[in-house]
Structure 1
């Protein structure tokens, strides 16, 4: 194994012992395919001298133009793809330029400035990106089953029945939420946005279809079974045909009242629940984000004012089916178009 690869293995072994993922040298050795003696040596070295003691000593460097060899570069990129800095005992959950520089230094012995790291990463096809969030409670097996079996079966049934498929979700807007976005201003002079200072909230229940249709209701009360079934009834009437509604596993969606209503309206509406803790699979989440980005709840003077602004924005989106269709082309929900 190349020195860079050995460096990553040492960091992973010590990280596993520190986190409690493995409890003995033997378990660590079996898990990572190394000897118990090596595990013990690395652990004692790290306890006595920190991460620096795990560094692999190098006697040479590659040529003058590229100080990091192709083999070492491959190891670095693989480590960044497979692990977070936290898992390698370097830092937090995100790969910043500073932490990439630290990884490069520890794995290859090459010292790079943060600016140079950014240039180097861009040269090799990397870019700074906002990470997606995933719940620890998400069941990947259920997600895979949804993508490969359950959703394709729903889409096939809807096509055979000449029915529509609508993706539904609910969200809320609060007046005490900070205004979205940023504003340019002189350094040291933070810009000020005037807000009402009062606390109130409106809720939105919406559904979208891949061809650009948008259905919604805005209300100030709690989200209840009555609210949901009323929305489903209106959705079916406006669609003019049977609708297969896909939603998350909110307790209201699984309640007895909703189940009873669906049984009585099975020819008009069929509800399908997505895997738990998987909002990224629902295109309607992108509409929610769009609403929160453009409706400035903090500037509303009352709940009625906020409800009015929210309805006005959603009516505008109803007349912009091109934008609604665009939600379905985001990377995580593109499967809905296949």
Structure 2
């Protein structure tokens, strides 16, 4: 629209007519005309979306390196990353103030996903668990009473 307006500025058309035809406010057309006078058609070109990423690829590489060190390296008490904690690291290391929503979009754009930590004891012994599953569980499973017809207290022999 701004470029169409620029062509019409060059043709000498009035601001109100351009605004009406393009269905925009007169103020917008006045702003565009001022930019056109100062910088020509190039000044009317789009500068890109307003929400373009504020973190460069190089900065994100630094952020990934920092996240790889873990939360404890950044002074957090446990080993879980939250969006607020990532936001804090971005503020400290990259000197950028991003909202939590922006941090989420940034991480998602770079292939990071939401993860729920597995709830396991720190003392968990994987080898012992596998051994138990392989040797003990089959015995426990087989030793359970198998129901036979009429063995339940709710089952009554059919009367004939």
TM-score bracket, shorter-length normalisation: 0.3 to 0.5
Instruction: Specify which structure has the higher proportion of helix.
Output: 2
Instruction: Specify which structure has the higher proportion of strand.
Output: 1
TM-score (ref. length: structure 2): 0.45
